[in-house]
Amino acid sequence: MSENVYVISAAMIPFGKYRSSSYVGLALPPLVDALKGAGIDKSDVGAVYVGHSYGGMMTGQRICKEIGLGTIPTVNVDNACSSGATAVHEAWRAIAEGVVDVAVVIGVEKLTQFGGGMLPLSPEDREVKQGIVMPAVYAMRANRYMHDFGATAEDLALVSVKARKHAALNPFAQYRTEVTVEEVLAARPIADPLTLPMCCPTGDGAAVVVLASERARARLGATRSMRIAASVLHSGFVAEGFRDMTKPEITYESARDAYAMAGIEAKDLDMIECHDAFSIAEIVYYEALGLTEHGTGVGLLRDGRTTFGGDVVVNPSGGLLSRGHPVGASGTAQIAEAFWQLTGTAGDRQIDDARWALTHVTGGGTAGLDHGACTIHVFEAV
């Protein structure tokens, strides 16, 4: 990899429920906005990568044809919740290897097509056949963590309270009403000890980012951009029998490689967007991403070290819990948030003097794997 790669534009729609919209209808507005923000014409785009999991055949081509964007490679990417970030990884590779100069990445998903309820999982997976569902997986993880490390249900609620507080400042968030610990604990139970606000919502959304080489960035005169300092994609490693649910090894390994590629340490980060699909996940990922030692994540939360004014702001967008989690769009939306923070355009939720950002998203609960995929990006303000 010899070329520096930059994100030069980002756009998204507010995440929510768009029951009458299509995948094309969700993705077109941010696609047009992102191209306009980058100051580029369709003829400047060398490739398009589209992350989605439930959009069906040729989702990317169906979106792009609406604006006459064709003939160039259009690649549809499915890596479950990591689809959008995996699409960015593929675009980064294409530019870093000198294959193209400019690439557009679209992340899009429409979960309201399923009528509500839990995320559909593969019926071929043996644990799915036995009845496993994602809230139950994370409830087991929460119970194990609470047993081993003395965390409490109040700690889990604090994650949701923080997420809602951040999301209240984000016009793109699905839930923007603040909540209290008492309200979170009293809410409808989903899978003990998780209540409804401790679980990410069903919703729809789309986000788009534009990537460019150093050469293209200069040619286009991109005044706002951030450098991709690291782009890491890992697949899960199969392990039968006992597995420590409090220690997601795929994230530990991906973070290790991302920090090495970027040449920084966790303590250098100003912001993180992590895969907080359920409240226990954020606490576990504090540790996996190197912010603190295994088993001590709740201390960061209780001390306010992961919100504005703390050591690092985790999920300033509100995260999956509050910004929403239309799976194929989530990884791209995280990177849009990093772009706004590192270019000083995040509005009311702007982090002061933000220089380094990390985005992290896992994909797919599959029998025998910690997760099917994990994508981590590190960005530097320029």
Angle between helices 83-96 and 327-342 (to 10 degrees): 60
DSSP secondary structure of 209-238: EEEEEHHHHHHHT-SS-EEEEEEEEEE---
**Known catalytic residue at 81:** yes
| Local structure of 61: helix, strand or coil | helix
- The angle formed by the CA atoms of residues 202, 206 and 208, to the nearest 5 degrees, is 150
- As a whole number of angstroms, the distance between CA 190 and CA 142 comes to 13
The residues facing 380 across adjacent strands are 227, 356
Q: How far apart (Å, rounded) are the C-alpha atoms in residues 276 and 203? A: 15
Cis before residue 193, ω within 30 degrees of 0? Answer: yes
204 contacts 17 by C-beta, under 8 angstroms:
yes
- 3-class SS at 287? helix
- The amino acid at residue 120 is P
Amino acid residing at 108: V
| 301, 292 Cβ separation under 8 angstroms | no
Structure tokens at 143: 């119970």
Catalytic residue among 81, 199, 200, 374: 81
Residue 164 CA from chain centroid, whole number = 17
The residue among 34, 48, 45, 51 whose CA lies nearest residue 87 is: 51
Residues with a catalytic annotation lie at 81
